[in-house]
Amino acid sequence: MTSKEPKRVGILIGREEEWPDAFIEAVNKTDQGIVAELVQIGGTFMDEDCPYDVIIDRISNETPYYRVYLKYAALQNCYIINNPFVWSADSKFYGIALVNQLGMTTPRTVALPNKYIRLKEVGPDSFRNLVYPMDWEGIVNYVGVPAVFKDINSGGRHVVYRVLDVDELIQRYDESGTHTMILQQLIESDIHIHCLVIGQEEVLTLQYDQENGRYLPQVTYHNPSLLAQLAQDARTLTRAYKYDINMVEFVVKDNLPYVINSTNPTPVIDHQLMTDEQFDWCIASTVKLAIERAHRPPLQKTLRDI
């Protein structure tokens, strides 16, 4: 591409429609030397050029080939939102451990061995490092019940259950297949605060209404100093990962905040969840981010830089 050609921003998406359509329309209405479109790929050659300056990834956590392509595109100096090398290494359990090291509060959490592994031929020798049987009573006593049993992977909520006792935990564990799971203390509270961070700086603070399954139009939890602290904690965690888009989820009980998810690189952005004002903020902020990263991309580490 020559310097006179517009910068190209591609987006990788799944089934979502509202955010991609609104984002592409908003970018293409700007006069900032940038155009947006859906990424089009179908088999990647090892020496082909990447036609995009920026790619926003909304689906590679569910489609492994997309993750392969994004790592290749990053090697070709395309800026990826979010860094696929970091996202590949991210997990909910690592996030919990990081939160603790940074001095924030988290629910008690245990990472569990896989019920099954993907190898076709396995036998007792494949599991010689694992203690068997697991101390289920000890695990439940540490975490407490009810507890949340969920997939360890960052991005989305693919497998999430509430378990009430040891028997139900074992049943859910037996059903988990090849998923890697964690068991997490359930913090019983109606105050769920989600902080959406764009560009590691701008923060939209949202209060989730569990009863109606969407965000409230305004935050009704009245504790300005704590809300400011949550926004800053969300920035701190997002900067630790160097994510450009991230959602940090908090639960507040007795004015004590708990980080229940430190990263979500693909937060849901649609009108079923958000008000018009909240949705429009997300579009405007991601457009601003895309323009900034297209024209002034910061250094993004790949395996080549290690």
pLDDT of residue 287: 98
Crossing angle of helices 18-29 and 276-295, rounded to 10°: 50
Q: Give the pair of three-digit tokens for residue 58.
A: 């909304």
Over residues 52-82, the pLDDT tens digits come to: 999 999 999 989 999 999 999 999 999 999 9
Q: Give the pair of three-digit tokens for residue 211.
A: 């009863």
Query: Is 272 or 124 the better-scoring residue by pLDDT?
Result: 272
**Lowest mean per-residue pLDDT among 65-74, 124-133, 137-146, 182-191:** 124-133
Q: Are strands 191-198 and 202-209 parallel, antiparallel or unpaired?
A: antiparallel
Question: Which value, in Å, is the radius of gyration of the alpha carbons in the chain?
Answer: 21
Q: What is the pTM of this model?
A: 0.92
Over residues 253-266, the pLDDT tens digits come to: 999 999 999 999 99
Q: Is the pLDDT of residue 93 over 60?
A: yes
Distance CA 220, CA 201 (A): 23
The mean pLDDT of 207-214, rounded to a whole number, is 94
pLDDT of residue 68: 96
Burial class (CB in 10 A: 0-12, 13-18, 19+), 61: buried
pLDDT of residue 115: 86
Mean pLDDT of the chain: 92
Distance CA 84, CA 36 (A): 20
- Return the DSSP state at 173: H
pLDDT of residue 156: 60
The three-point CA angle 33-38-39 to 5° equals 100
Q: How confident is the model at residue 230 (pLDDT cuts 50, 70, 90)?
A: very high
Calculate the alpha carbon distances from 201 to 156, 195, 244, 274, 289 in Å: 22, 11, 9, 21, 10
CB 167 within 8 A of CB 153: no
Q: How confident is the model at residue 119 (pLDDT cuts 50, 70, 90)?
A: low
Q: Where do the H-state alpha helices sit in 60-133? A: 64-75, 84-89, 92-101
Domains of the chain: 7-88+293-297 (3.40.50.20), 91-106+188-264 (3.30.470.20), 108-185 (3.30.1490.20)
Q: How confident is the model at residue 246 (pLDDT cuts 50, 70, 90)?
A: very high
The mean pLDDT of 167-183, rounded to a whole number, is 93
Q: Give the pair of three-digit tokens for residue 128.
A: 């010689």
Burial class (CB in 10 A: 0-12, 13-18, 19+), 132: exposed
pLDDT of residue 304: 76
Strand ranges of the sheet holding 181-185, from the earlier edge strand across to the other edge: 109-112, 181-185, 147-151, 160-163
pLDDT of residue 1: 45
Distance CA 105, CA 109 (A): 12
pLDDT of residue 128: 82
Return all residues near 184 (Cβ < 8 A) that are at least 6 apart: 96, 107, 108, 109, 110, 143, 147, 148, 149, 150, 260
Place of tokens 């305004």: 218
